[in-house]
Each structure stands twice: as C-alpha cells, then as structure tokens.
C-alpha cells in the first residue's frame, strides 16, 4: 500500500511542439476536403470536471500530464485549430508559469505529515531528489521540503498537491528536483504546522541484471520501420533461427490500409454533397468521377446517369433554364439509382437546402499516399515465438508494441530485443538461460494499418484506420479523426462497463469502438493469451513520457472506484520487478524512470478504460505491464525536463529502443526466475 499509493501522483509534461506534416503530405492550400493540421500543445485543466469535459470532447491526449502548484493539471494534447478555438469550459492553453498556490488558511489544528517515499537517483545529468508525502489536511496544506546532502549541500523545494477525480492522492514534486550532491535527509514542513523527517533512499536500487559475457552483441536497429519492414525482420530471424523460433500468423486480419474513395462537391456549408464509393479506393473507387451538369435548357428534371466510371448528375432547371436542385435533392437522386457504385450524403449537419451549382468532373480519391508496394489488403499480424522449448512447458512472456500507430519507437524495442536474444544465444550464457527457461512471443506491430497511415499520410495517427462514423462525420476533411483506439477496445474496465478514460465519440482520440473487442487488433492480443496458457507476463510497449505501469488501469469517475487492486503480495512483486527492470534500463545511458511514474496506471497516469494490460491481468492472470518509453530529457541550460515526442530524431529514438530493449530482456529474466505460486 505504502509507496504504491504514494506514487499516485501524476506527472505531467509541458512543452509545445508543432508536428511536422508527413513527408508525403502534398503542400496544397487547405480546402474543405482537406484535414486541419494538428499541433502538440500544452493545456491547463483546473479540475476533474474540466478533465472529464476534455476527454468527452474527443481531445487526443498524450501521456504527459503534470499537477501544478495552483491545483491545476497541465497535459499535452494533439489538437486542431478548431479544437483549440473551442476548448471545453475551464480548459485553456497553458501559458508561462502556472500561478503560485493560493494562500491557504492556517489550519486550526496541527496537521499530520507522513513521508511516503523519499528517494534520490543519479541520472547521466547528476543527482535528483523525489519526495512523496501526505498531509492530514490534504490539499489544504502546502508542503515544503528541505534537504541536507553529502558535502554540506542543501536545498529546498515546494511540493504540489495531487488531486485526481476529486480524490487527494498526496503531495509530490511536479518533477524531480536537481541536487548538488546526494541528498541524505529531508524535512517536510506543512503550512498546517506539521513536520516529518526521513532518510533519503536510492532509486531504483533494483536487483542487478545478469552480466552478459564478452562479445555480447546489440544495436540492431538503424531506422524507424514501417510494418512491412518490421515483418520482414522477424521473418528473416525465423529463417535464420528455425530451431529457436516459430512464426505465428495471428488469426484476425486487420481491415487493411484502405479507405473508400470520396469527393466533396459544392460549397459547404449549405450547398455541398459528399460522394463516397462503395468499393475501396484501391479496388476501383479511385477510378470513379462525378460531375454536376447544367442542362442549359428550361424545365429539365433532375437526372442521374452512370456511364462507365463517370457519374453525371444533370441538375433540374426552372423556366429560365437556371439550375434549381438542392443538395438534399441531389443526394436523394443519386441514392435512388439502382446499382450505382457510390453513396451520396449531405455535408455534416447541413439540411441541404442550398441550390447546387454545376461542377466539372471530380475524381474520387481515398487520399492514401503510401507507395503502391504497400499492400492495401487486410493485413496479417505476425508474432515471433522464441525459445528452446516452445511447447507450453516454459513461462511465457508476451511483448507487443504499436497499439498506437504514431509511437514509432515501440516496435524497435521488440525487434532489438528479439535480435539480441537470438544472436547472442550461441555464445552468451545469460542469454542461453533465458531461451532455456522462457517462451517469448514478440508482436512488433499490433496496428499495422494505423502505422502505415502514420508513416505515409498523417504522422499523428493514434488509432487504427477503421471508420465507424456515420455519414455526417465522414466527409474527407475528417479522415484523420477516424479509427478506434486499440488500447480502449478491450473488455475489462471498459467504457461500456462504466469506466472512465475512453470515448463513445467515433472521432475521439480515445474512441473505444462500437463494442468491446470490435477490432481485429485487440482480438489478436487476447487470442495469444487464450491460446498460449503458459503466458504469465506481458509488456505493452507505448510512448512517450517515461513510465512503468501495471494494473489497475481504470476507474469509475464517480467516487474514483478503481478496478480491484492486486493483493499486497502481488503489488510488492510488481514494484520489486519494476525496480529490477528500471535498474537495467538505467544501465544503458543513465535514464532513470521516475519513482512517481512507476506504479498502477490509475495512480501515476490516468484512467484508461478498456486497456489491454487490465484484461490480461484480470481475465488471464497475466502480469500485465506497460512501458511508456521516451523519458523526459533534462535540459541543464534551462534546468527543466523536456518531452521527447512520439517520433524524436532517430538518434534519440534509437537510444530509447536500446534502453527499453534492455528493460524487456530484464523482464524476460524475471520470467525465467518465476515460480508458479
């Protein structure tokens, strides 16, 4: 309880980075059929009610969230200009430093202060201090930490109260505080009069990883890889190591990197019609054209004809020969033609009363820019199974990445780990032990369609590519908002069960889908857990922010009722294992995952209804973890922590892949030592 509960503090990150357009995006002036650009902005959210409105608004929130001294929270989000202009009530764009904490009334009774955790860590940037404490006066108290360190060093810093969904979770530093040398002792002083002292312990201070022998090989990833390349890599590994691997084609094919072809004709709002092909663009939809013709003669009826690939709408005219057909009439006329290869619809919520003007032929387009050799057909998702004995007799470990398409570093973590395991097996004892004792399942990309869309069309794509929106939310300018958040599509702690942190809005960044397990991407993950009952550990690899998390990952907002917490025994095991794995991660380049970002998802991040780790844990008894790779980098010039983003320059992405592959191999080591209880 202690320590874990204290880690209930959400860390947030701030920064404002504009996302570059996908390299393939055509540089054309924005028209009504073009999606709005997006940018990564930092929002200020005053309280739980505003956070609820923000989630409900469909905002695409990142994992960088931070409590502020004034009680608000700052969170990074991926937003369009229209979303920015219409932020939910109370939510605003963060600017400058947050307001200082309001002066608090002096408590009439001295409060009790408890230090939950006081730790120091040494990253490649020096010493840092992290403290979590609580006051019996809750958020009414302001807590200040003073410390003494080695060599007579000392310092002082104010904590922030963290209140989530109306519940006070404790006080912490907004981010770890730099110290001149190793901090030894702290005193926490409350404005309520209470104080507490504690010794400062080392973090993560986990078990030291197995030493790899001389000649241990690593560093196998040289670039970001789209799905086709990821699959080629694991196929090549299977060909080279047939006695140590199996290639598993997961049973549920994705919908495919494909869309129906569309055209927006006319001028919204009022007089505009959306035409959508029945066939996917790649299957003939892109060959169709639509024109609106003015007959140039009086008293003509509205007529629709299909000639080859051209659909001609001949507009009705009045006695003077002027076109009089409204958008609604054109839609009805098109849809009344038997066997016509398109459907017409009104633009968004327009009633369609505007009169349509003649328009030359417009070719329909699926707006997909990937090269022709990127397959459009439903995709097979592949798993590489690694181990000496792949018969169910060894402890299974599942590592799966890229549920979220834009998280380009995450597949590299799994590829790097697979390469290291296989290429060091023959000469490295520690690696051989892992392959003797475990049965490893690696899925580099759960969501290949979304990944292709992120690579070739819209690099901020989070979800899969399947559009479940009704016609009025399906005009081509909205195409970057479609899709299901794969990590909200699972069946435990789900939106439909009443849990918070997913959306029923098909355009939301966290759209849960039309039903639990509606998407092949989520069914594939659960299929692995059901089919291979020896899987006892799972790592769901995400980015960014630098977190290490486990269940529960969702709560009901009213009363902040979480999914059941693991037993104290299991919580201790989760935490102890995390410290071991974080020790291994730190060994790569000195990245230390912060203590306040190590813990249950609901405590250290937010509620994520219907996520996969919860289903693996609660339904299958699998220790389900989440990495958020891409920890903040310390900027010594500004003395602030800076976020790395979803697609950092490859040099940084490469370094993240190296350190979290080491972490993943450390998890496999924990599985190798695991004894069924």
**Options 71-79, 131-139, 363-371, 535-543: segment touching Zn ion (CB under 5 A):** 535-543
Task: Give the residue with the Cβ less far from Zn ion, 61 or 302.
Answer: 61
Show the site string, 494-533: x = touches Zn ion by CB under 5 A, - = not.
Answer: ----------------------------------------
Task: Give the residue with the Cβ less far from Zn ion, 329 or 410.
Answer: 410
**What is the closest distance, in whole angstroms, from the C-beta atom of residue 413 to Zn ion in the complex?**
13
Within residues 436-465, the interface with Zn ion by CB under 5 A covers: none
3-state SS record for 462-524: CCCCCCCCCHHHCCHHHHHHCCCCHHHCCCCCCCCCCCCCCECCCCCCCECCCCCCCCHHHHH
| Matching residue, tokens 């609820």 | 52
Show the site string, 244-263: x = touches Zn ion by CB under 5 A, - = not.
Answer: --------------------
**Options 150-158, 185-193, 375-383, 539-547: segment touching Zn ion (CB under 5 A):** 539-547
**What is the closest distance, in whole angstroms, from the C-beta atom of residue 407 to Zn ion in the complex?**
5
End-to-end CA distance of the chain: 21
**Options 116-124, 337-345, 362-370, 541-549: segment touching Zn ion (CB under 5 A):** 541-549
**404, 406, 479, 536: residue in contact with Zn ion (rule CB under 5 A):** 404
**What is the closest distance, in whole angstroms, from the C-beta atom of residue 520 to Zn ion in the complex?**
18
**What is the closest distance, in whole angstroms, from the C-beta atom of residue 542 to Zn ion in the complex?**
3
**What is the closest distance, in whole angstroms, from the C-beta atom of residue 173 to Zn ion in the complex?**
25
**Options 345-353, 432-440, 537-545, 557-565: segment touching Zn ion (CB under 5 A):** 537-545
| Matching residue, tokens 């080859």 | 308
**What is the closest distance, in whole angstroms, from the C-beta atom of residue 531 to Zn ion in the complex?**
25
| Rounded to 5°, angle at Cα 641 from 640 and 645 | 135
Helix (H) or strand (E) holding 50: helix 48-56
Within residues 269-308, the interface with Zn ion by CB under 5 A covers: none
Question: Distance (Å, rounded) from C-alpha 470 to C-alpha 506?
Answer: 9
Task: Give the residue with the Cβ less far from Zn ion, 402 or 591.
Answer: 402
Backbone φ, ψ for residue 412 (5° rounding)? -65, -30
**Options 534-542, 573-581, 605-613, 631-639: segment touching Zn ion (CB under 5 A):** 534-542
Structure tokens at 238: 């299977």
Task: Give the residue with the Cβ less far from Zn ion, 281 or 599.
Answer: 599
Dihedral sign from CA coordinates of 614, 615, 619, 625:
negative
Task: Give the residue with the Cβ less far from Zn ion, 143 or 446.
Answer: 446
Task: Give the residue with the Cβ less far from Zn ion, 385 or 404.
Answer: 404
**What is the closest distance, in whole angstroms, from the C-beta atom of residue 225 to Zn ion in the complex?**
17
**Options 25-33, 91-99, 310-318, 398-406: segment touching Zn ion (CB under 5 A):** 398-406
Does residue 134 sit in helix, strand or coil?
strand
Let me know: does 386 contact 422? Beta carbons within 8 Å: yes
| Rounded to 5°, angle at Cα 78 from 20 and 548 | 105
**What is the closest distance, in whole angstroms, from the C-beta atom of residue 532 to Zn ion in the complex?**
24
Structure tokens at 596: 């306040």
Question: Distance (Å, rounded) from C-alpha 540 to C-alpha 38?
Answer: 26
Task: Give the residue with the Cβ less far from Zn ion, 317 or 503.
Answer: 503
Task: Give the residue with the Cβ less far from Zn ion, 203 or 544.
Answer: 544
Helix (H) or strand (E) holding 82: helix 81-85
Task: Give the residue with the Cβ less far from Zn ion, 60 or 111.
Answer: 60
Question: Distance (Å, rounded) from C-alpha 511 to C-alpha 266?
Answer: 30
Strand ranges (E), 356-444: 359-363, 382-386, 395-401, 438-443
**What is the closest distance, in whole angstroms, from the C-beta atom of residue 403 to Zn ion in the complex?**
6
**What is the closest distance, in whole angstroms, from the C-beta atom of residue 613 to Zn ion in the complex?**
12
Task: Give the residue with the Cβ less far from Zn ion, 408 or 500.
Answer: 408
**What is the closest distance, in whole angstroms, from the C-beta atom of residue 369 to Zn ion in the complex?**
24
**What is the closest distance, in whole angstroms, from the C-beta atom of residue 103 to Zn ion in the complex?**
39
Angle between helix 429-437 and helix 409-424 axes, rounded to 10 deg: 100
**Options 198-206, 211-219, 262-270, 397-405: segment touching Zn ion (CB under 5 A):** 397-405
Question: Would you state the torsion angle of the CA atoms of residues 554, 555, 561, 563, taken in this order, to the nearest 10 degrees?
Answer: -20
Question: Distance (Å, rounded) from C-alpha 451 to C-alpha 152?
Answer: 52
**Options 265-273, 279-287, 399-407, 579-587: segment touching Zn ion (CB under 5 A):** 399-407
Whole-Å CA distances, 393 to 186, 324, 433, 536, 666: 49, 75, 15, 12, 20
3-state SS record for 91-108: CEECCCCCCCCCCCCCCC
Task: Give the residue with the Cβ less far from Zn ion, 237 or 605.
Answer: 605
**What is the closest distance, in whole angstroms, from the C-beta atom of residue 405 to Zn ion in the complex?**
9
Task: Give the residue with the Cβ less far from Zn ion, 78 or 506.
Answer: 78
Q: Tell me if 406 contacts Zn ion by CB under 5 A.
A: no
Task: Give the residue with the Cβ less far from Zn ion, 66 or 404.
Answer: 404
Task: Give the residue with the Cβ less far from Zn ion, 404 or 488.
Answer: 404
Task: Give the residue with the Cβ less far from Zn ion, 404 or 536.
Answer: 404
Structure tokens at 131: 């403290």
The CA-based diameter of the chain, rounded to the nearest angstrom, is 97
Task: Give the residue with the Cβ less far from Zn ion, 117 or 404.
Answer: 404
**Options 294-302, 442-450, 538-546, 568-576: segment touching Zn ion (CB under 5 A):** 538-546
**What length does the chain have?**
677
Q: Tell me if 542 contacts Zn ion by CB under 5 A.
A: yes
**What is the closest distance, in whole angstroms, from the C-beta atom of residue 628 to Zn ion in the complex?**
7
Structure tokens at 145: 């930490």
Count residues near Zn ion (CB under 5 A): 2
Question: Distance (Å, rounded) from C-alpha 203 to C-alpha 200?
Answer: 9
623-631 and 260-267 as β-strands: parallel, antiparallel, unpaired? unpaired
Please give the DSSP secondary-structure letter assigned to residue 537.
E
**What is the closest distance, in whole angstroms, from the C-beta atom of residue 294 to Zn ion in the complex?**
51
Radius of gyration of the chain from its Cα atoms, rounded to whole angstroms: 27
**Options 2-10, 70-78, 123-131, 402-410: segment touching Zn ion (CB under 5 A):** 402-410
Let me know: does 119 contact 595? Beta carbons within 8 Å: yes
**Options 104-112, 379-387, 403-411, 589-597: segment touching Zn ion (CB under 5 A):** 403-411
Question: Distance (Å, rounded) from C-alpha 578 to C-alpha 603?
Answer: 15
Task: Give the residue with the Cβ less far from Zn ion, 265 or 381.
Answer: 381
Q: Tell me if 64 contacts Zn ion by CB under 5 A.
A: no
Let me know: does 134 contact 188? Beta carbons within 8 Å: no
**Options 222-230, 372-380, 421-429, 540-548: segment touching Zn ion (CB under 5 A):** 540-548
Dihedral sign from CA coordinates of 639, 179, 5, 140:
negative
Edge-to-edge strand order for the sheet containing 271-280? 260-267, 271-280, 342-346
Structure tokens at 73: 């929270």
**What is the closest distance, in whole angstroms, from the C-beta atom of residue 163 to Zn ion in the complex?**
25
**What is the closest distance, in whole angstroms, from the C-beta atom of residue 646 to Zn ion in the complex?**
9
For Zn ion, the binding residues (CB under 5 A) are: 404, 542
């Amino acid at each position: 309880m202690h320590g874990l509960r204290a880690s209930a503090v959400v860390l947030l990150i701030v920064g404002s980075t504009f996302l570059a357009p996908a390299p393939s995006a055509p540089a054309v002036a924005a028209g009504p059929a073009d999606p709005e650009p997006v940018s990564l902005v930092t929002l200020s959210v005053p309280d739980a009610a505003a956070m609820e409105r923000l989630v409900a608004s469909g905002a695409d929130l990142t994992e960088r969230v931070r409590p502020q001294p004034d009680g608000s929270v700052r969170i990074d989000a991926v937003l369009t200009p229209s979303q920015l202009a219409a932020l939910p009530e109370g939510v605003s764009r963060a600017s400058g430093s947050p307001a200082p904490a309001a002066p608090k009334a002096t408590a009439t009774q001295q409060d009790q202060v408890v230090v939950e955790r006081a730790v120091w860590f040494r990253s490649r940037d020096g010493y840092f201090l992290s403290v979590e404490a609580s006051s019996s006066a809750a958020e009414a108290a302001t807590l200040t930490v003073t410390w003494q360190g080695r060599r007579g060093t000392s310092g002082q810093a104010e904590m922030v109260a963290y209140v989530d969904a109306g519940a006070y979770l404790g006080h912490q530093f907004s981010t770890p505080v730099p110290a001149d040398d190793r901090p030894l002792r702290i005193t926490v002083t409350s404005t309520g009069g209470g104080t507490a002292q504690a010794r400062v312990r080392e973090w993560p201070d986990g078990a030291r990883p197995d030493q790899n022998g001389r000649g241990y090989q690593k560093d196998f990833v040289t670039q970001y890889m789209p799905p086709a390349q990821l699959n080629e890599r694991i196929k090549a590994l299977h060909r080279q190591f047939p006695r140590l691997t199996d290639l598993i084609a997961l049973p549920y094919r994705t919908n495919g990197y494909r869309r129906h072809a569309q055209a927006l004709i006319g001028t919204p709002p009022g007089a505009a019609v959306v035409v959508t092909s029945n066939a996917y663009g790649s299957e003939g939809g892109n060959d169709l054209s639509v024109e609106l013709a003015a007959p140039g003669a009086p008293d003509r009826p509205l007529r629709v004809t299909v000639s080859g690939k051209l659909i001609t709408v001949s507009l009705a005219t009045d006695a003077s020969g002027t076109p009089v057909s409204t958008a609604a009439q054109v839609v009805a006329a098109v849809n009344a033609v038997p066997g016509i290869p398109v459907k017409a619809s009104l633009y968004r919520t327009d009633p369609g009363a505007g009169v349509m003007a003649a328009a030359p032929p417009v070719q329909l387009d699926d707006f997909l820019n990937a090269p022709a050799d990127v397959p459009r057909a439903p995709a097979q998702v592949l798993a590489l199974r690694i181990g000496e004995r792949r018969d169910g007799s060894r402890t299974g470990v599942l590592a799966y990445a890229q549920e979220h398409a834009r998280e380009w570093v995450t597949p590299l973590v799994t590829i790097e780990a697979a390469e290291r395991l296989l290429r060091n097996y023959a000469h490295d004892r520690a690696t051989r032990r892992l392959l003797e004792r475990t049965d490893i399942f690696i899925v580099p990309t759960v969501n290949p369609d979304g990944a292709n869309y992120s690579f070739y069309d819209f690099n901020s794509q989070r979800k899969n590519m399947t559009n479940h929106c009704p016609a009025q939310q399906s005009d081509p300018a909205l195409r970057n908002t479609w899709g299901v958040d794969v990590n909200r599509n699972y069946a435990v702690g789900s939106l439909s069960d009443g849990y918070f942190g997913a959306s029923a809005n098909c355009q939301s960044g966290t759209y849960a889908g039309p039903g639990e397990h509606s998407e092949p991407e989520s069914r594939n993950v659960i299929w692995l857990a059901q089919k291979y009952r020896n899987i006892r550990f799972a790592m769901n690899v995400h980015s960014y922010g630098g977190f290490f998390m486990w269940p529960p990952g969702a709560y009901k907002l009213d009363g902040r009722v979480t999914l059941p917490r693991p037993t104290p025994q299991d919580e201790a095991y989760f935490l102890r294992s995390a410290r071991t794995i974080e020790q291994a991660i730190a060994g790569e380049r000195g990245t230390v995952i912060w203590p306040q970002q190590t813990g249950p998802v609901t405590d250290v991040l937010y509620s994520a209804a219907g996520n996969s780790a919860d289903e693996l844990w609660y339904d299958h008894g699998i220790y389900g973890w989440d990495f958020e790779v891409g920890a903040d980098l310390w900027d010594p010039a500004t003395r602030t922590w800076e976020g790395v983003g979803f697609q950092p320059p490859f040099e940084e992405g490469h370094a993240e892949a190296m350190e979290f592959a080491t972490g993943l191999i450390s998890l496999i080591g924990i599985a190798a030592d695991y004894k069924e209880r």
